[in-house]
């Protein structure tokens, strides 16, 4: 039995690195996480199943053979999920290039709401440590992010404002949302208030603040918030794009960005997108540096095609002739099944309710092997460590094995080589 | 594996060879002395009088890290228009001004470059930069750590900590981030911008810490010197792009007070305020100062006409120029009580007075600075233009008639405001070899690169001696990296792995406690997790380590 201190959690993108986890044989148990998500993530046992092909137990080699056979003859495969560490994502992109597949992360919908705004108008944002030390006014737009990022307020908002003059106090305003009991508890001692939406939606509410900033509409909560933003030293407007489940989410985000920039001409103000569950941010970063494009990119025909709409996994899974789904970081199998074969690489405890054509249990970065994941603010890359040895291969190992098998037989077409 | 290059005209300035007809012998990726008679040669290349140089080294090129990915995403139209399909040895990719990693490595190698250094790695983003550099094939890489607006350094300076403490902090950060040199970007200015200062002059006290950029710059220059880092403090000064900044730049040179300094993209810092438009060339004044200051080196940051994107840690300046963005979108970030980044697309037009004069100022600097050992060929890729413009730039430097023809095409008032037309100098091949090979290697302390003497890495480039120097440098006949033929006639033929270079000075580890407390209390990451270990570099290969001056 071993107690691991200062363990880094790869799960939600907050980058907490102060966890205590006990490892005993093939089992890990949380000792101190202060987080319900991490508690579940670090509670792992010995693998319940081994590799399986068509419902029958197989060796790892047989499963990789079967995966290579199915992917090798595909012409429009999907490599989705991508809940893996940086090395696993690199291997997924190499395999995608080999077989002409399309890549996407299972949780990319939220990411692309933000990217749409970045590509249309640009981006003015900050990172967690700036928020923690400088931000005297935090506006949380939309739902409380605590359910997805349980320690956000505790780690990045509750600590002292170390880099502002003594006496500076932090205020937190929830615009169009309300803090959960957990959030309130974490924010004990911080001035918290709520500005409900007055009938309209988030873009309307933000438009009213922008109008007030320009001197239109001198009263009401919008005007008060405009004044607060103007008088703050360093305002931050945060949102969790994955929780803005409305058709106009990217309009709301664009409105936030315009508001940020108008305030930033007077005093300092930055946006802060929250997200990055299961290394979505890392999957996108690696894809951008390797291809020049974000996720939702196809390698078909030995070239690149990026289409944020048509090449999302949700669209492509219905059209692809084979799907490889990677879930090593607790994201789970896809909630739709492809017409063609499904090859699933999953962490322990994530086995799907229905049997895929090929199932390969893989190790989880941060538990079975070291790896890199990106924090949700997209700047900080974290190294996670290994806690136990359960004999599970990494995503990288499995994908390299599959690619080597495909490389050793002539390409079926549509491939780069 | 033994290779012989016969009958080459060798340009190897570090070993005093200029147009020397000689054979080069290579054994297992290294240059060696001629073997004794009877030794088996595995591969022989008869160069028939072609020109041979060591692989070129780019001392300042933004090739990796968060700001480049942000730029790639922002410049989505450019990437859609510049897709590179897989062909031959090369994988697919995209981009010219912000190429994807594979394209970056291949394009550099195809031009005869075998190393490029990312000059603005933020500590908080260093792990990303290293992960990305591991995906750049063929060429060697390394990163310069940005310091000077990080709150811990400013706090230490404001508290009056001794130079030894500052030295140890710089040493700790350099080592933890696996860096090759220290850069400062608008020292204090990025920090001041976080307190809503929009401008900070060299002798103006910044907010909170009350420190002037001069004080920060000199403290860092001294720390770099005391650590014995081979490359001097790499300085992106105050007031980038501001007319009249020539005075700031001359003051910055003065601030060094005898300590070595490297001023980067000095073109952007050489603007005077004469003439009707209050914008004129300060190149002659800067060149004169460089010529009389032997401890000073510069790279130019030449602009080239066309679309590009500027990416910089200098949020203060980038926020100021954002209204000029073309296309009209830009990105900015404050980052981790460390620094920041600003990404602003830009189109340099030869018919714009200002852009045309910037172009001329860059060339004036190249031509008026006399010592090719102290001026390096850069476009501050991609800020002045993409690195693939270097062959054109070499032609402009080597061919006066061509230069005059180009000068005649730019905005007429700009050409009237520059002395470029009266400068007769043409760079020689030997000077190009110094500026792009021997000098950057010496400046960075790369003892086995940038030359072709025994013990050097076999980075060997073979050129046809073409009168059109652009064509010559665009498509070398053969490029070898560590003894492997990687490109032929401007096309990649073998994709190899590059290495990442770091420098490891000695310092007092006790500073680690101060750093650890800062990370624990403020940054929210433990210092031991912030530090990057050797096995994280280049996919587990680890870095190539270089010692400080005086070390082995």
Suggest the residue from A380, A383, A396, A403 to mutate for an interface test with chain B (most B CBs closer than 10 A): A380
CA distance linking residue B462 with residue B49, whole number of Å = 10
Asked whether residue B13 carries a pLDDT value surpassing 90, the answer given is yes
Q: Which two tokens stand for residue A178?
A: 């309300």
Instruction: Show the CA angle centred on residue B296, arms to residues B292 and B299, nearest 5°.
Output: 115
**Which chain B residues touch A132 with a CB distance below 8 Å?**
522, 524
Output the pTM of the full model: 0.98
Percent residues over pLDDT 70 in chain B: 100
Which DSSP string corresponds to A357-400?
SEEEE---BTTTB-EEEE-TTSS-EEEE-------PPPHHHHHH
Predicted interface score ipTM higher than 0.90? yes
Q: Which range among A303-317, A327-341, B441-455, B525-539 shows the weakest confidence by mean pLDDT?
A: A327-341
Question: How much is the average pLDDT of A311-340?
Answer: 92
CB contact under 8 A, A119 and B74: yes
Residue A140 pLDDT? 98
B107 touching A (Cβ < 8 Å): no
Q: Are B24 and B54 in contact (CB under 8 A)?
A: no
Chain B interface mutation, best of A289, A311, A366, A374, highest count of B Cβ atoms under 10 Å: A289
Chain B closest CA to A292's CA: distance in Å? 5
CB atoms within 10 A of CB B509: 11
pLDDT of residue B551: 67
What is the predicted pLDDT for the residue at A414?
A: 44
Could you tell me which of B367, B350, B348 has the C-alpha nearest to residue B415? B350
pLDDT tens readout for residues B500-533: 999 999 999 999 999 999 999 999 999 999 999 9
Q: What is the mean pLDDT of chain B?
A: 97
Looking at chain B, the number of H-run helices and the number of E-run strands are 20, 26
- Residues 173-202 on B with a CB inside 8 Å of A are 193-196
pLDDT of residue A333: 87
Q: How far is CA B67 from CA A114, A258, B119, B312, in A?
A: 17, 21, 12, 7
Q: CB-based burial of residue B276 (10 Å sphere; 0-12 exposed, 13-18 middle, 19+ buried)?
A: exposed
For residue B79, what is the nearest residue in chain A, using CA coordinates?
A292
Confidence of residue B330 (pLDDT cuts 50, 70, 90): very high
- Residues recorded for chain B: 552
Within 8 A of A293 by CB-CB distance, chain B residues are 72, 76, 79, 94
| pLDDT (tens digit per residue) in A160-182 | 999 999 999 999 999 999 999 99
Spatial separation of the C-alpha atoms in residues A85 and A398, rounded to whole Å: 13
Calculate mean pLDDT across residues A93-102.
98
- pLDDT at residue A245 above 80? no
Any idea which of A78-82, A117-121, B496-500 has the lowest mean pLDDT?
A: A117-121
Query: What's the pLDDT score for residue A417?
Result: 38
| pLDDT bucket at A415, cuts 50 / 70 / 90 | very low
Is residue B529 within 8 angstroms of chain A, CB to CB? yes
Distance of CA A322 to the CA centre of its chain: 24
**Quick one: pLDDT at residue A416?**
40
Judge: A380–B127 Cβ closer than 8 Å, yes or no.
Answer: yes
Q: Cβ of A118 under 8 Å from any chain B Cβ? A: yes
Q: Which residue in the set B69, B334, B533 is minimally distant from A130, CB to CB?
A: B334
Interface check for B513 against chain A (CB to CB < 8 A): the answer is no
pLDDT digits (tens, 9 = 90+) for B370-424: 999 999 999 999 999 999 999 999 999 999 999 999 999 999 999 889 999 999 9
Omega before residue B382 within 30° of 0, cis: yes
User: How does the average pLDDT of chain A come out, rounded?
Assistant: 94
What confidence category does residue A413 fall into, taking pLDDT thresholds of 50, 70 and 90? very low
CB atoms within 10 A of CB B39: 11
* Confidence (pLDDT) at B301: 98
Residue among A268, A304, A306 minimizing CB distance to B196? A268
Q: Which residues of A touch B64 (CB under 8 A)?
A: 289
Assess B417–A contact: CB distance below 8 Å, yes or no.
no
Confidence at B126, pLDDT banded by 50, 70, 90: very high
B168 vs B394: CA distance, rounded Å:
41
Residues of B in contact with A286 (CB under 8 A): 131, 135
Q: Which of A122, A155, A383 sits opposite B331 (nearest CB)?
A: A122
Cα–Cα distance, B374 to B376 (Å, whole number)? 7
**Main-chain phi, psi angles of A269, to 5 degrees:** -155, 140
**Which of A31, A35, A5 is CA-nearest to residue A277?**
A35
From chain B residues 310-349, the ones with a CB under 8 A of any chain A CB are 319, 325, 329-338
Across residues B233-259, what is the average pLDDT? Answer: 96
Residues 6+ apart with CB under 8 A from B197: B189, B206, B207, B316
User: Is A267's Cβ below 8 Å from some Cβ in B?
Assistant: yes
With beta carbons under 8 A apart, name residues in chain A contacting B521: 159, 162
Band of residue A301 on the pLDDT scale cut at 50, 70, 90: very high
Average pLDDT over residues A360-366: 97
Partner B contacted by A397 (CB < 8 A): no
Domains recognised in chain B with CATH numbers: 1-121+128-141+452-499 (2.30.40.10)
- pLDDT at residue B318 is higher than 60: yes
């Amino acid at each position: 039995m071993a107690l691991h201190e200062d363990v880094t959690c790869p799960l939600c993108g907050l980058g907490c690195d102060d966890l205590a986890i006990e490892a005993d044989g093939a089992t890990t148990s949380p000792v101190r996480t202060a987080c319900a998500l991490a508690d579940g993530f670090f509670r792992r046992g010995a693998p319940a199943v081994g590799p399986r092909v068509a419902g029958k137990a197989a060796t790892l080699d047989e499963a990789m053979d079967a995966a290579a056979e199915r992917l090798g003859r595909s012409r429009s495969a999907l490599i989705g999920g991508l809940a893996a560490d940086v090395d696993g994502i690199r291997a997924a992109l190499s395999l995608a290039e080999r077989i002409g597949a399309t890549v996407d992360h299972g949780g990319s919908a939220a990411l692309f709401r933000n990217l749409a705004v970045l590509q249309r108008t640009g981006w003015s944002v900050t990172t967690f440590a700036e928020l923690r030390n400088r931000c005297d006014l935090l506006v949380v737009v939309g739902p409380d992010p605590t359910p997805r990022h349980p320690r956000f307020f505790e780690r990045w908002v509750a600590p002292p404002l170390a880099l502002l003059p003594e006496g500076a106090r932090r205020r937190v305003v929830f615009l169009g949302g309300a803090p959960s009991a957990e959030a309130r508890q974490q924010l004990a001692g911080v001035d918290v208030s709520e500005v409900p939406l007055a009938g309209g939606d988030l873009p309307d509410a933000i438009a009213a603040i922008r109008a007030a900033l320009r001197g239109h509409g001198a009263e009401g909560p919008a005007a008060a918030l405009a004044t607060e933003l103007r008088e703050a030293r360093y305002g931050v407007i945060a949102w969790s794009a994955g929780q803005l489940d409305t058709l106009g989410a990217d309009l709301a985000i664009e409105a936030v960005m315009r508001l940020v920039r108008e305030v930033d001409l007077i005093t300092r103000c930055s946006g802060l997108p929250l997200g990055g569950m299961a290394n979505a941010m890392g999957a996108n970063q690696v894809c951008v540096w390797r291809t020049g494009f974000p996720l939702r990119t196809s390698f078909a025909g030995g070239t690149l095609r990026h289409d944020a709409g048509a090449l999302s996994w949700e669209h492509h899974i219905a059209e692809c002739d084979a799907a490889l789904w990677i879930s090593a970081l607790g994201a789970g199998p896809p909630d739709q099944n492809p017409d063609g074969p499904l090859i699933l690489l999953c962490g322990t405890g994530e086995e799907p309710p229905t049997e895929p054509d090929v199932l390969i249990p893989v190790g989880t970065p941060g538990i079975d092997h070291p790896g890199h994941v990106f924090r949700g603010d997209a700047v900080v890359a974290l190294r996670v460590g290994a806690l136990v040895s359960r004999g599970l291969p990494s995503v990288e190992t499995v994908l390299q094995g599959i690619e080597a098998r495909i490389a050793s037989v002539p390409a079926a077409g549509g491939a780069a080589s | 594996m033994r290779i012989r290059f016969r009958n080459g005209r060798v340009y190897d300035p570090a070993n005093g060879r200029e147009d020397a007809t000689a054979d080069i012998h290579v054994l297992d990726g290294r240059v060696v002395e001629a073997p004794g008679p009877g030794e088996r040669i595995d591969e022989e290349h008869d160069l028939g009088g072609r020109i041979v140089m060591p692989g070129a080294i780019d001392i300042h090129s933004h090739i990796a890290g968060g700001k480049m990915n942000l730029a790639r995403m922002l410049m989505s139209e450019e990437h859609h228009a510049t897709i590179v399909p897989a062909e031959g040895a090369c994988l697919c990719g995209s981009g010219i001004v912000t190429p994807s990693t594979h394209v970056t490595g291949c394009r550099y190698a195809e031009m005869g470059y075998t190393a490029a250094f990312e000059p603005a790695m933020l500590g908080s983003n260093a792990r990303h930069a290293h992960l990305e550099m591991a995906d750049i094939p063929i060429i060697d890489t390394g990163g310069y750590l940005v310091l000077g607006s990080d709150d811990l350094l400013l706090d230490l300076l404001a508290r009056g900590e001794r130079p030894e403490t500052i030295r140890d902090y710089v040493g700790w950060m350099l080592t933890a981030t696996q860096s090759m040199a220290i850069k400062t970007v608008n020292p204090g200015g990025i920090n001041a911008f976080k307190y809503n200062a929009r401008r900070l002059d060299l002798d103006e006290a910044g907010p909170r810490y009350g420190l002037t950029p001069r004080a920060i710059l000199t403290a860092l220059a001294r720390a770099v010197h005391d650590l014995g880092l081979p490359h001097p403090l790499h300085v992106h000064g105050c007031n980038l792009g501001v007319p009249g900044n020539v005075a700031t730049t001359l003051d910055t040179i003065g601030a060094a007070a005898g300590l070595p300094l490297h001023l980067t993209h000095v073109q952007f810092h050489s603007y005077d305020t004469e003439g009707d438009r209050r914008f004129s060339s300060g190149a002659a004044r800067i060149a004169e100062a460089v010529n009389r200051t032997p401890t000073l080196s510069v790279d130019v940051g030449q602009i080239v006409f066309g679309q590009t994107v500027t990416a910089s840690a200098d949020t203060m300046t980038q926020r100021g120029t954002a209204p000029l963005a073309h296309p009209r979108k830009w990105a900015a970030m404050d980052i981790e009580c460390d620094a920041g980044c600003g990404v602003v697309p830009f189109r340099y037009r030869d018919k714009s007075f200002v852009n045309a004069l910037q172009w001329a100022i860059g060339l004036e600097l190249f031509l008026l600075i006399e010592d090719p050992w102290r001026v390096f060929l850069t476009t501050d890729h991609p800020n002045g233009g993409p690195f693939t413009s270097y062959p054109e730039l070499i032609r402009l430097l080597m061919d006066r008639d061509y230069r005059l023809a180009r000068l005649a095409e730019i905005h007429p008032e700009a050409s009237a405001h520059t002395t470029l037309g009266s400068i007769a100098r043409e760079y020689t091949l030997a000077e190009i070899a110094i500026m792009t090979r021997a000098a950057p290697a010496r400046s960075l302390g790369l003892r086995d690169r940038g030359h072709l003497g025994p013990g050097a890495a076999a980075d060997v480039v073979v050129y046809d001696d073409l009168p059109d120097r652009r064509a010559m440098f665009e498509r070398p006949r053969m490029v070898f990296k560590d003894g492997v033929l990687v490109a032929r006639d401007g096309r990649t033929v073998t994709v190899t792995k590059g290495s990442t270079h770091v420098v490891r000075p000695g310092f007092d580890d006790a500073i680690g406690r101060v750093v650890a407390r800062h990370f624990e209390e403020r940054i929210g990451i433990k210092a031991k997790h912030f530090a990057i270990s050797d096995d994280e570099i280049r996919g587990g290969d680890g870095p190539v380590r270089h010692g400080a001056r005086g070390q082995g």
